[in-house]
C-alpha cells in the first residue's frame, strides 16, 4: 500500500511557488525562466539566482528526464513513507540547465541506472504526490 | 590585538548519550564548565559567547548569556550547521583581534535522538522542507546516497575504500570512553551492514545523540603553561558551487590555497586531520578538496592509507561522529576538541606520539540536496 497523499508532508504554498504547485496539480512540471538573462532554474524563487532580476515567467517542460544519480531509501524521514520503501530518490536532468530531486515510482532500485529515462506521472496519478514525481519511460 | 597571538586556550566536552531527559542547556553548561577548568579561567573573565545548535531556537547566544549569568561584549549565533563551530572560532579570533572581546567561549551541542533528527530535517529550511521532505528524502541519508553514488560512478570510488574511514575511526573510538559506539568494526561488517539509503549502509551514517562541546578562544598567554594552541589559518565558504543539488566538491576547494599559504604549511605537514564525518563520502571529498590527493583520486588514496589514531593518516582520532555519535551541531566541534586535546598532549591512551599541528574541517547546513557550508582551521601547538 502506498500512503495517501494527505499524509505526506506537503510544501508550504506561497506567492513564490504557487504557479509551480498549481502546474503539478495539472500533472505538469513548470520552472522559472528569467526575462533578463534568459536562464532557467529550479526550485521556485522570487528572484533569478543568476542575475537577481524579478522579470520571471513560467515555462512548462516536456516532463521527460534522465537519471543523474539516485539513492534507494529504506529509512524515510517521515512515517507517511514507511509503507512505500524502498523510495527511489533521484537527481534527474529535466532540461539542459536543470537537475532536480524527485521520486521515481514503479521501478525496482536494481533496475535504475545512471541515464535511465523517466517521465512525469500522468495527471490522474499526480494528485497522490505533493511534488512532481516520475516513472520509468518505457518507449 | 596581534592575530598570531590568539588561539584556543581551553576545551571541554559533556558526556554523550543516546537518549536523555536532560535539557540542552545542561549539556552546554557541562561542556562550558570543563572548558573553563581546562583554560584555568574564572567565569567572569569570559566576555564573548558563540553558540551553534539546531535545537536552541527560540533561544540564541544572548538568551544563553542570560541563562549562564554572563555579560558579554560580543555574541555570535552559528548559522552554518556542522560548519558553524569552526566558523565561530575563526570569527571569535577576528573579534578578539579587533578588540571586541578578549576571551570567547565557543559552544556547540544538541540533545536530540534518532526520531528528533528526522523531525529536525523535515523542517530544516525553506527549500528542503518544500522540495525534499515531501519526497520522503530520508533525512540527510538519501541526499548523501545520491552524492556517494555519483562519486562512485564518476571516479570509480568503491565502498571497500570508503569503509576504511569508518573502520579506522572505530579503532580510535575503542580508546575513547565517551564514544557511544566502541565495539570493534571490521571492513566485512561495514560492507554487509543494513542498507539505509543505498549505497549508504549503517556504518556510513552517524548516530544522532545528545551532547555538547566547547573551546575557549583567547590570548595565547592566558592559557595554562604549555597548553596554548595557535590558530595558523582559518577560512569559511558558503553555497559553493551554487545551483547544483549534488556536487562532488565544496567550498574547501576555493580557500585551500589561501589556507595553506596563511599557515605556511601544506597538507603533508599535518599530523592529524579532524574532518567533518557525517558520511565517509564527505570525508573523502574533503580530503580531495583540501589537497590531500587530486580530485577523483581519493579511492586509491584511501586504499593506501590507514585512518586509526596510530595509522598512516590519523583521522578523527577520538572516533569522530561516526563512532562517538552526532550531537547535532556539536558534530562540528567534536574535531576541534579532539584536535586541541591532542595538541595539548591530553589524549591519554590514544595520544599521538608526534604532534605539532593539524587540520580541523567543518561541513553542513544541508539545503536543497547537499551541505552548503564549509569551514577549515589549522592549529599548531605553541612550543
Task: List pLDDT tens digits, range A80-94.
Answer: 999 999 999 999 999
Is residue A1's pLDDT more than 60? no
Q: Any idea what the CATH number is for the domain that residue B100 is in?
A: 3.40.47.10
- Contact list in A for residue B156 (CB cut-off 8 A) is none
Same domain, B259 and B372: yes
Hey, are the CB atoms on B198 and A68 less than 8 Å from each other? Answer: no
Same domain, B220 and B244: no
Q: How far from chain centre, in Å, is Cα B241?
A: 21
**Are B107 and B129 in a shared domain?**
no
Whether A99 and B131 lie within 8 Å, measured CB to CB: no
Asked if A91 lies within 8 A of B246 by C-beta distance, the reply is yes
> What CA–CA distance (Å, rounded) separates B132 from B138?
9
Per-residue pLDDT at B347: 98
Q: Do B195 and A72 touch (CB under 8 A)?
A: yes
Q: Are residues B282 and B299 in the same domain?
A: yes
Q: Which domain holds residue B25?
A: 3-113+210-230
Q: Is the pLDDT of residue B259 over 50?
A: yes
Residue contact A74–B369, C-beta within 8 A:
no
The answer, yes or no, to whether residue B376 has pLDDT greater than 50, is: yes
Give me the percent of chain B exceeding a pLDDT of 90.
95
Closest CA to B216 of B5, B12, B4, B1: B12
ipTM, two decimals = 0.95
Q: What is the DSSP string of A17-86?
A: THHHHHHHHTT--EEEEETTT--EESS--SS-TTT----EEEEE--SEEEEEEEEEESS-SSGGGGGGPS
In this prediction, residue B3 carries a pLDDT of: 87
Q: Which three cell numbers stand for residue B17?
A: 548519550
User: Taking the domains of chain A in order of start, what are their residue ranges?
Assistant: 11-136
The β-bridge partners of B10 are: B216
Least CA distance to B126: which residue of chain A?
A: A12
Q: Given this model, what pLDDT does residue A3 score?
A: 43
Best residue in A31, A74, A77, A112 for a mutation probing chain B (most B CBs within 10 Å): A77
Give residue B119's pLDDT: 87
Q: Which residues pair with A118 in a beta bridge?
A: A65, A136
Contacts of B195 (CB under 8 A, 6+ apart): A72, A74, B201
Average pLDDT of every residue of chain B: 97
The alpha-carbon gap from A77 to the nearest alpha carbon of chain B, in Å, equals 4
pLDDT digits (tens, 9 = 90+) for B206-226: 999 999 999 999 999 999 999
pLDDT 10s digits, B182-199: 999 999 999 999 999 999
Q: Which three cell numbers stand for residue B119?
A: 523531525
Q: Are residues B224 and B265 in the same domain?
A: no
Report pLDDT for B114. 86
**pLDDT at residue B170, rounded to an integer:** 98
**Helix, strand or coil, per DSSP, at residue B344:** coil
Nearest by Cα to B381 from B352, B357, B354: B357
- pTM assigned to the model: 0.97
Question: A101 and B135 in contact by Cβ < 8 A?
Answer: yes
**Residues on chain B touching A5 (C-beta within 8 angstroms):** none
Residue of A nearest to B369 (CA): A101
Query: How far is it, in rounded angstroms, from Cα A55 to Cα A48?
Result: 8
**Count of structural domains, chain B:** 2
CA distance, residue A139 to nearest chain B CA (Å): 25
How large is the average pLDDT for residues B247-275?
Answer: 98
Are B54 and B109 within one domain?
yes
Amino acid at each position: 500500500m502506498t500512503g495517501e497523499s494527505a499524509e505526506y508532508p506537503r510544501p508550504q504554498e506561497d506567492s513564490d511557488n504557487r504557479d509551480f504547485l498549481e502546474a503539478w496539480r495539472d500533472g505538469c512540471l513548470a520552472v522559472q525562466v528569467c526575462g533578463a538573462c534568459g536562464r532557467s532554474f529550479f526550485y521556485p524563487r522570487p528572484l533569478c539566482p543568476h542575475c537577481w532580476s524579478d522579470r520571471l515567467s513560467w515555462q512548462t517542460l516536456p516532463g521527460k528526464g534522465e537519471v543523474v544519480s539516485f539513492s534507494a531509501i529504506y529509512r524515510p524521514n517521515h512515517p507517511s513513507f514507511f509503507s512505500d520503501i524502498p523510495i527511489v530518490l533521484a537527481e534527474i536532468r529535466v532540461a539542459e540547465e536543470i537537475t532536480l530531486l524527485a521520486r521515481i515510482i514503479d521501478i525496482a532500485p536494481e533496475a535504475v541506472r545512471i541515464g535511465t529515462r523517466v517521465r512525469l506521472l500522468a495527471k490522474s496519478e499526480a494528485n497522490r504526490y505533493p511534488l512532481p514525481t516520475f516513472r520509468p519511460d518505457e518507449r | 590585538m596581534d592575530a598570531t597571538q590568539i588561539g584556543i586556550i581551553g576545551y571541554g566536552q559533556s558526556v554523550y548519550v543516546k537518549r536523555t531527559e536532560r535539557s540542552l542547556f545542561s549539556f552546554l553548561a557541562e561542556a562550558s564548565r570543563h572548558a573553563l577548568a581546562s583554560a584555568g579561567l574564572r567565569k567572569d573573565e569570559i566576555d564573548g559567547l558563540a553558540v551553534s545548535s539546531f535545537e536552541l531556537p527560540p533561544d540564541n547566544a544572548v538568551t544563553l548569556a542570560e541563562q549562564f549569568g554572563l555579560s558579554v561584549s560580543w555574541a555570535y549565533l552559528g548559522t552554518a550547521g556542522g560548519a558553524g563551530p569552526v566558523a565561530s572560532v575563526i570569527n571569535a579570533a577576528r573579534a578578539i583581534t579587533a578588540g571586541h572581546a578578549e576571551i570567547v567561549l565557543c559552544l556547540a551541542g544538541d540533545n536530540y535522538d534518532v526520531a528528533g533528527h528526522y523531525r529536525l530535517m523535515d523542517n530544516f529550511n525553506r527549500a528542503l522542507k518544500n522540495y525534499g521532505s515531501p519526497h520522503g528524502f530520508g533525512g540527510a541519508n538519501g541526499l548523501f546516497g545520491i552524492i556517494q553514488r555519483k562519486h562512485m560512478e564518476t571516479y570509480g570510488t568503491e565502498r571497500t575504500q570508503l569503509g576504511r574511514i569508518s573502520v579506522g575511526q572505530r579503532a580510535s573510538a575503542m580508546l575513547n570512553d565517551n564514544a557511544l559506539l566502541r565495539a570493534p568494526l571490521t571492513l566485512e561488517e561495514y560492507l554487509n551492514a543494513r542498507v539505509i539509503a543505498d549505497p549508504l549502509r549503517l556504518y556510513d551514517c552517524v548516530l544522532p545523540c545528545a551532547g555538547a562541546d566547547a573551546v575557549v578562544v583567547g590570548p595565547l598567554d592566558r592559557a595554562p603553561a604549555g597548553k596554548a594552541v595557535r590558530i595558523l589559518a582559518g577560512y569559511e565558504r558558503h553555497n559553493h558551487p551554487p545551483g547544483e543539488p549534488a556536487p562532488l566538491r565544496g567550498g574547501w576547494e576555493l580557500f585551500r590555497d589561501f589556507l595553506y599559504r596563511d599557515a605556511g604549511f601544506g597538507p603533508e605537514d599535518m599530523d592529524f586531520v579532524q574532518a567533518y564525518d557525517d558520511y565517509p563520502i564527505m570525508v573523502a571529498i574533503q580530503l580531495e578538496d583540501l589537497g590531500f590527493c587530486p580530485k577523483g583520486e581519493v579511492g586509491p588514496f584511501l586504499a593506501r592509507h590507514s585512518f586509526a589514531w596510530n595509522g598512516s593518516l590519523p583521522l578523527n582520532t577520538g572516533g569522530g561522529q561516526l563512532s562517538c555519535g552526532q550531537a547535532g551541531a556539536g558534530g562540528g566541534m567534536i574535531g576541534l576538541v579532539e584536535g586541541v586535546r591532542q595538541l595539548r598532549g591530553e589524549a591519554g591512551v590514544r595520544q599521538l606520539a608526534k604532534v605539532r599541528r593539524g587540520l580541523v574541517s567543518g561541513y553542513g547546513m544541508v539545503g536543497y540536496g547537499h551541505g552548503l557550508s564549509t569551514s577549515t582551521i589549522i592549529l599548531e601547538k605553541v612550543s
